[in-house]
Structure 1
């Protein structure tokens, strides 16, 4: 699955291409389904979703779709190009689209905390080394925080309720 621009063109018919926005606009109004793509920072992320097939041949019993989610509050639409097995259901594509949020959050955290976006390199190997070190540092921080939180929770659980508030 790949997020795409509204003017990205895909196969819409025999020897024709069309922008994904035009393809989604052709979907009938009743075809939109309200679904959650997973929990976010403020609870379930619910959007209206629609999809339409990409009309081209794919190898190994695969299919392609244009997937769109529309914000319930603003009506803004985001578009995706999707590929999967024949028989893939809309809810499966929605679930996969929802995983992008966790990945984007992880990258934003790495940018803020370990300088993921602070590289000024010109060669691929230097960029790769920087990204690898930054993500390793981010993983270290996540594990360290989880360990400390678990340690604090176990210490709190073992403290006696009658003695934990006393000072001697």
Structure 2
């Protein structure tokens, strides 16, 4: 199965994972209940859901953010799962400017792997290499 990853306005193909940015109003379903992505955003004090992870080196060093994921319904799982992935700033954890991603990947995909792939931007070769080694 080819993978489509939305990075910087374009779709990138990656092995068996899909990660793309979505609006905070993206509709998702959990069980029989329909939600918007923003309604599933974990509370800032939910330390068990938020993890501080680097998404790579920038011009001023490592770029750390808080990341969380929430599983959502998946029509045809076959060993795969859908999640909403959230990224928030460390300087302003209460700031409503959170980045939202929708992920479709193998069920055992770690949050760390999702973060590394989501942060690759247009770096298709880097993301492919990451998937080969994870």
TM-score range, shorter chain: 0.5 to 0.7
The answer to whether the 8 A contact 1:12-1:23 is kept is: no
More strand by proportion, 1 or 2? 2
Counterpart in 1 of 2:64? 46
TM-score, with structure 1 as normaliser: 0.55
Structure 1: 5+ residue runs without aligned partners? 104-168
CA-to-aligned-CA distance 1:120-146 (integer Å, 9 cap, x gap): xxxxxxxxxxxxxxxxxxxxxxxxxxx
**Displacement of 1:7 after TM fit?**
0.7
Q: 1: distance between equivalents of 2:42 and 2:107?
A: 23
More helix by proportion, 1 or 2? 1
Counterpart in 1 of 2:34? 17
Q: 2: distance between equivalents of 1:28 and 1:17?
A: 24
Q: 1: distance between equivalents of 2:59 and 2:108?
A: 32
Higher relative contact order (CA 8 A, sep 6+): 2
Count, aligned residues? 102
Q: 1: distance between equivalents of 2:81 and 2:23?
A: 20
3-state SS, counterpart of residue 29 of structure 1: coil
Q: 1:38 to 1:4 in 2, by over 3 A?
A: same
3-state SS, counterpart of residue 76 of structure 2: coil
Counterpart in 1 of 2:114? 93
* Runs of 4+ off more than 3 Å: 25-28
TM-score, with structure 2 as normaliser: 0.68
**Displacement of 1:2 after TM fit?**
0.5
CA-to-aligned-CA distance 1:53-79 (integer Å, 9 cap, x gap): 012333431100000000112333100
